[in-house]
Structure 1
Amino acid sequence: MHQRLSGAVRLRRSTPDLLLAAGVVVLSVAVLAGVFGREGLARRAGSLEQARAETAQQVRIQTARTALVIADTDAGNDLLTGADPGQFSYRLFAYDAQPAFLGLVTAARTDEDAASLATANKYLTRYVMQVAAARTLAQDGRRDEAAGALAEASQVLHTQVLPRLAQVQQAGRERLADDGSAADTAPVITVLAGILAVLVIIAVHLWLTRRTRRLLNLGLLTGVVVLVLVTVAGVAVVVASRQQVSQVQDHALRIADAVVEARFSAFDARSSEARAALDGSTVDGEQAWQASYQDALARLRTAAAGEPQAVRDDVANVTGKLSYYGGVHERLLARAVEGDDAFVRRSASNPAPGGAVGAFEAFDAYSGALLARQVQTADDAWESAGANLRLVGWITLVVGLLAAVLGWVGIAARRREYR
């Protein structure tokens, strides 16, 4: 009997110390749940902001690459008409190349990008000078020499400038993938911290029930409830964010990348057509033209694959415009086989819908509009993906502090009973 009373006394004396320790544990895990919860959501928001900025950089590089092949096409069209400064076509080269000049200045996001773009800019200057020399030769009526000079300029563009832009673009894609991975990893901290805090507080409550013979502790239970609710809210906002990221990565950006590459290949085909018409090598250059043209069609098929009907209809419209241009080229090629070089030059520089220039302009306009819509869709989705993350993060911090206070108050009430 004496031993049982002694044990009860020791239990009563040790309980306040154990309750104090339990209170410290509850306080700590609840505060950590709030701090790490806010940190995880803030990191995801930051990673998504970086991804949005990287996407904008990708658009600048894509614009620069496409602008250069458009300008190269303009140079060929201009030489076909004698490079007359009085005609509007003479000014198109500088106008269409301008986005590339500006893009190379603003597109660098790392030192490596800056070095590659600086080298590309050096060769771009050489390319522009060579195009100017070709135009001077065309104005003097020295068509063959002008064609050779333009071919050399285009060689510089395709071997020294465009590959470097593609290299920077690929580096940006890798950074974009890293940002996406970081955005997916960061919220794990939030969820794990919330779950750990809930489990620890439940364990303390079970211990407290056995120790004090009280079934419920309102402070602890309320703390668990608010932590569960805020953790669920965090999961919900992350799930919604991931859906928006999926819209960007699996749809808008994928379509935009495919359309960019389609435009690049199509303009490359049109540029080679103009140069070939200038120097009379249309038949010999047909294989290269077909390679670029077929690649453009394949890219458009990739853009439409697995997309909603509205997107497929848009891509089909663009494909139809490109196919129409392909039909114009076939007629041009047939006359080239017959040796009618004068018709080939007229058709290759004809801005009417039945000419190569006019037929291609329709593809340019429709594909450019499709690309602009997808770029805007991607930017809107990035913005939506980051929405509410920081807000819920701060709410998580506040709720974590609230749960800490509630838990401490609940255990403090039990400690007072042992005084």
Structure 2
Amino acid sequence: MPAVIEATRTMARRAVRPETPARLRLWVAVTILTATLLLAGLSLLMARVQDQVRIIGDEAAPQAATAADLYFALSDMDAQVARMVLTAGDDALAGSQIDALGTYQERSRQVDADLQKSLTTSTTEADRAAVLTLLDHLAVYRERVWQTLTAGDAAPGYYTQATNTLHLDLLPAAQALRDASEQRLSDAYAGKRVTQVLAVTVAIVLGGALLVLLIALQVWLARRFRRVLNPALLGATVLTVGLVLPAIAVLVLQGQRLGEARDDSLTPFLRLSQARAVSYDAAADTSRYLISSRLAYYDDDFKKKSACLSGTDCETALPVVAGGPDVSPFESDQVVSRWQAYARDHQKIVALAAAGKNDEAIGALTGIKRGDAAFDFTYYDAAVGEIAAARKADFDRAMDDVSTLMTGWAVIPLVAMGLVIVLVPVAVRKRFAEYR
């Protein structure tokens, strides 16, 4: 036993003696190990960030957009049914009825496509169950609509059943699906941020440690062997700096770009989709008011939705969601002023109906000249649609930019650190030869 202890002490003394090859071997081993850890950690984390960016751009964001579009399409479907009921049997309004039928069929196809897309992209059993529930409610709603359109004079009663099915069953289920998709989007962003922070930490800690080892080894070799510069170690140092600094920059830049894309483009786009759904449902309240023979509930409901859209009493007021940091107040005010024009049309229609002038009220609702409800609503919706399309395009461009920025970064650490791992032994090979 004493012999073993003495041998161990002898080996330890030789290892720490600066003039021995053991010290050099230890230094090289630690340097290569650090480079290997940096290679593995940065490559895996960069690949993970790339995958999370793909999930945001190809899965989470489209799912949220699809759910928002579904809610909007359902709202407009019911608005078109109300128009068909209101214009039924009046030859003078045949054009408006045909237009409403065509729009209803278009929105119906849109709903089917959104539900199919949601079903195929669902990642949880809860989401699939929600979509199947929506399909069941949609079948009931369509049956009620068919009864409404074929019931003749009894159409208002069947329409009440149809719109109740929409508001009590379909829209709440669609809203739950929309909320779940937006939560998934937030979770995807949060997960990517955690990976991004971890990757930056690995780059700083391991990259810094590797630089210290390479520089210290360069200095030690210069002092011990009187070599002023070691080209291989210099190359390894340059490669390390050339990897670590750009990697940190890429991670920070993609995080900033994605954050801006979410805050300035995607979130406003989703809120605009929500606002459009509210506005279509509010416009349908004008028709519902006439269909129900001036039921005050629909006028009150319109006023609540209009207050939301005008920004006076709603958590997602239109001036907020329609604008954004890079949109001038004029564009936001323009959207609001166009909605307020429709709100005035609604009040005029309510007043005409209250005075017993139903035909004039229907004419003011379905007319296509400026000052008529149909014209003013289309004018308003064009402004909202233009801003929403711009927001969506901005987000898509940001995702393309981030994908381009991240291209190759799962492989770049492998190449750079692979060269460093080769260069370090090359740098000390001749020094080992001096001890033979």
Following superposition, the deviation at residue 396 of structure 1 comes to 2.1
Match of 2:5 in 1: none
Following superposition, the deviation at residue 116 of structure 1 comes to 0.3
Aligned equivalents of 1:159 and 1:97: distance in 2?
19
Match of 1:172 in 2: 181
Whether contact under 8 Å (1:335, 1:344) holds in the other structure is: yes
Aligned residues: 407
Q: What are the residue-to-residue correspondences of 1:59-138 with 2, within 5 Å?
A: 59-82=65-88, 87-88=97-98, 89-108=100-119, 109-110=122-123, 111-137=125-151
Following superposition, the deviation at residue 309 of structure 1 comes to 4.0
Match of 1:182 in 2: 191
Whether contact under 8 Å (1:198, 1:224) holds in the other structure is: no
Following superposition, the deviation at residue 197 of structure 1 comes to 4.0
Aligned equivalents of 1:245 and 1:286: distance in 2?
42
Whether contact under 8 Å (1:194, 1:227) holds in the other structure is: no
Following superposition, the deviation at residue 115 of structure 1 comes to 1.0
Q: Establish whether residue 271 from structure 1 lines up as the match of residue 277 from structure 2.
A: no
* Change in CA separation of 1:262 and 1:323 when aligned onto 2, cut-off 3 Å: same
Following superposition, the deviation at residue 100 of structure 1 comes to 0.7
Following superposition, the deviation at residue 124 of structure 1 comes to 0.6
Aligned equivalents of 2:54 and 2:183: distance in 1?
16
- Secondary structure of 1:387's aligned partner: helix
- Secondary structure of 2:409's aligned partner: helix
- Secondary structure of 2:370's aligned partner: coil
Aligned equivalents of 1:186 and 1:177: distance in 2?
14
Among 397, 402, 413, which residue is 1:385 paired with? Answer: 402
Match of 1:257 in 2: 270
Following superposition, the deviation at residue 261 of structure 1 comes to 1.8
Q: What are the residue-to-residue correspondences of 1:12-51 with 2, within 5 Å?
A: 15-51=20-56
* Change in CA separation of 1:133 and 1:116 when aligned onto 2, cut-off 3 Å: same
Aligned equivalents of 2:219 and 2:325: distance in 1?
57
Following superposition, the deviation at residue 207 of structure 1 comes to 6.3
* Change in CA separation of 1:83 and 1:383 when aligned onto 2, cut-off 3 Å: farther
Q: Which segment is superposed worse, 341-350 or 19-28?
A: 341-350
Q: Deviations over 1:48-89 (max 9, x none)?
A: 110112111111111111111111111011111116888513
Among 245, 248, 257, which residue is 1:235 paired with? Answer: 248
Q: Deviations over 1:153-197 (max 9, x none)?
A: 111111211111211221111221122122222234443333324
Aligned equivalents of 1:83 and 1:90: distance in 2?
14
- Secondary structure of 2:427's aligned partner: helix
Match of 1:192 in 2: 201
Aligned equivalents of 2:131 and 2:34: distance in 1?
50
Whether contact under 8 Å (1:32, 1:400) holds in the other structure is: no
Among 287, 300, 305, which residue is 1:292 paired with? Answer: 305
Q: Which segment is superposed worse, 262-271 or 240-249?
A: 240-249
Following superposition, the deviation at residue 338 of structure 1 comes to 2.6
- Secondary structure of 2:190's aligned partner: helix
Please list every run of 5 or more consecutive structure 2 residues that lacks an aligned counterpart in the other structure: 1-9, 312-316
Identity %: 22
Q: Establish whether residue 366 from structure 1 lines up as the match of residue 375 from structure 2.
A: no
Among 155, 160, 168, which residue is 2:169 paired with? Answer: 160
Q: What are the residue-to-residue correspondences of 1:298-337 with 2, within 5 Å?
A: 298=311, 299-304=317-322, 307-310=325-328, 312-337=329-354
Following superposition, the deviation at residue 99 of structure 1 comes to 0.5
Higher RCO (CA-CA < 8 Å; seq separation 6+): 1
Amino acid at match of 2:33: S
Following superposition, the deviation at residue 269 of structure 1 comes to 0.8
Following superposition, the deviation at residue 400 of structure 1 comes to 0.8
Amino acid at match of 1:107: S
Aligned equivalents of 2:48 and 2:89: distance in 1?
55
Following superposition, the deviation at residue 358 of structure 1 comes to 2.3
* Change in CA separation of 1:99 and 1:386 when aligned onto 2, cut-off 3 Å: same
Aligned equivalents of 1:25 and 1:390: distance in 2?
31
* TM-score (norm: length of structure 1): 0.89
Aligned equivalents of 2:366 and 2:286: distance in 1?
10
Aligned equivalents of 2:41 and 2:144: distance in 1?
59
* TM-score (norm: length of structure 2): 0.85
Aligned equivalents of 1:208 and 1:368: distance in 2?
63
* Change in CA separation of 1:83 and 1:366 when aligned onto 2, cut-off 3 Å: farther
